Structure 1
């Protein structure tokens, strides 16, 4: 996946980060189509040195987000720490998924952020994998 973005970084990072999250969410939603044959649910607990993060998601077609992670610093280098949550909110809202982030412990903002991104990738891999036992859409309603 390659993303190219021309943002208004001369103003601040917020719109650029949010726009990339929106585009990623839309791309996930479009790529999954009607979600026939996928697991739908995914979760991953990822250790990153002193940090431990759990990501859980449901590609349900409905948006909900719980972001239970605090960053000990306002910045990660030149990047505003609060934008990590803004990015995932934009992604989840546009992918139409339930998205949960739980920081069990961690003291380094870089490690917390990295664990959230890598854990999300692993949870998405699980949720989008083909379920060989399923022939249709993973819902009792017949649609997601």
Structure 2
């Protein structure tokens, strides 16, 4: 496979975002969104998915975290889509069940080209650090739609909000790594339609 790197930039009146992702990396990352807890979550995603990830975000955090988190999801999804190209030779599907102390999270992905998010997680707190917990769903919605992936995330056993969020982000990294892996027996796109 050729190098699978996506590099996307998005500037609006609300945010200025640049993201580069290497799907065949080692988990190295430089992340600065202005929200330390969100940085921590993206670090877990990159490290456990073995993606090299550079994220630089300047957002209107004086308003709230909404635009920063949602727009980061949009740009990350675009970068993932760019890195995948035509998706020839990948496994397409990936899933992972991840324990985090008392919490258990499930992530399942189909890189189908058909965006959809099924998100089942009820956080016991409204905030974790400077991140509104309701924005976690919005982040994954933005990623799933801009990357055109079918994404299912579910907390099987809940608990501490920090553990729940971390389990979701790490499970997402592991499942995406599995879905983007090369399948040496499949040289074309894994679809009866011939394209994804």
Q: TM-score range by the shorter chain?
A: over 0.9
Distance 2:192 2:149 in 1: 17
Please, which runs of 5 or more residues in structure 1 have no aligned partner? none
Match for 2:159 among 107, 131, 137? 107
Is structure 2 residue 57 aligned with structure 1 residue 2? no
TM (normalized to structure 2)? 0.73
1:102 Cα deviation (Å)? 1.1
> Which structure dedicates a bigger proportion of its chain to strand?
2
Structure 1 segments of 4+ aligned residues over 2 angstroms from their partners:
none
User: 1:85 maps to what in 2?
Assistant: 137
Equivalent pairs counted in the alignment come to 144
Is structure 2 residue 63 aligned with structure 1 residue 11? yes
Please, which runs of 5 or more residues in structure 2 have no aligned partner? 1-52
SS of the residue 2:172 aligns to: helix
Alignment of 1:1-144 (within 5 A): 1-144=53-196
Residue deviations 1:68-108, cap 9 Å, x none?
11101111123211111110000001000000011111210
Residue deviations 1:22-80, cap 9 Å, x none?
00000000100110000000000000000000000100001111001110111112321
Further displaced range: 123-132 or 75-84? 75-84
TM (normalized to structure 1)? 0.98
SS of the residue 2:176 aligns to: helix
